[in-house]
Amino acid sequence: MSENDGTTAYPDWPWPDSLDALQAAPAHHKRLLENERVRVIHTHILPGDIVPLHTHRWCGVAHVISTSDFIRRDHSGNIVFDSREAVAQVEASAVQWLKALPPHTVENLGTSPISVIVVELKDSR
């Protein structure tokens, strides 16, 4: 599969619905609203937690409520992002664009919870 530039949804989502964040990691993702155009999710990761393997099918806008150091790993366990090595640190109350994400885990390495409201855009193709 080709690399996604983050501005559109994957045209042919190759991963099963069972890996959707709400199904695969319900302890860390709560649906706040959903309709045919958007899905709003609250992601909450306590210090030391590892979110099970899951996906985010749609790109969207994230509002960071609280943040902490974290590592994102791909389906094979390879580190694909380490916030401690990021050029720009994300602060609480930041708003950022999120691309659709293939299967990954997230580990909260810090001492604060990670809390993010994500508005996923279903019709962003």
Asked if residue 69 belongs to a domain, the reply is yes
Determine the structural domain holding residue 26 and report its residue range: 17-121
User: Measured between alpha carbons, how far is 84 from 102 in angstroms, rounded to an integer?
Assistant: 22
**pLDDT for 2 beyond 50:** no
pTM (predicted TM-score) = 0.88
Asked if residue 58 belongs to a domain, the reply is yes
Among 31, 21, 43, 41, CA closest to 108: 43
**pLDDT for 5 beyond 60:** no
User: What confidence tens digit (pLDDT) does each residue in 22-56 have?
Assistant: 999 999 999 999 999 999 999 999 999 999 999 99
Asked if residue 96 belongs to a domain, the reply is yes
Coil, strand or helix at 70 = strand
Torsion angle of alpha carbons 102, 105, 111, 113, nearest 10°?
Answer: 60
User: What confidence tens digit (pLDDT) does each residue in 52-95 have?
Assistant: 999 999 999 999 999 999 999 999 999 999 999 988 878 888 99
CA distances from 54 to 39, 100, 102 (A): 16, 11, 8
The H or E element that residue 22 is part of is helix 21-24
